[in-house]
Amino acid sequence: MKIDCYFSMGCTSDVALRQNLNEALLAEGVEADISYHRIGEDEAIRLGLKGSPTILINGVDLFPSDIDGFS
């Protein structure tokens, strides 16, 4: 499983997300290749990301939304 986590420059949820994700994977006995990315608005737009954090599992947005912006 491939997990990509994207954060805006001002997002403060990265520490909690890392901890929660690691605990969930351990509890479920799942191994994953996890990457964390801190990106700006231009990169978020290029990637089509809508919120921060955005979590993609095997390229699929875990929590898709219709909001505008990546803040």
SS3 56: strand
**Predicted structure pTM score:** 0.86
Q: Are 53 and 70 in contact (CB under 8 A)?
A: no
| Six token digits for residue 20 | 């929660």
Pull the structure tokens for residue 13.
Answer: 């949820």
Q: Look at phi and psi of residue 29 and say left if phi exceeds 0, alpha if psi is from -120 to 50, else beta.
A: left
Residue ranges of the domains in the chain? 2-61
- Give percent of the chain above pLDDT 90: 77
Mean pLDDT, residues 15-44? 96
Q: Which of 17-26, 32-41, 45-54, 62-71 has the lowest mean pLDDT?
A: 62-71
Q: How far apart are CA 4 and CA 44, in angstroms?
A: 13
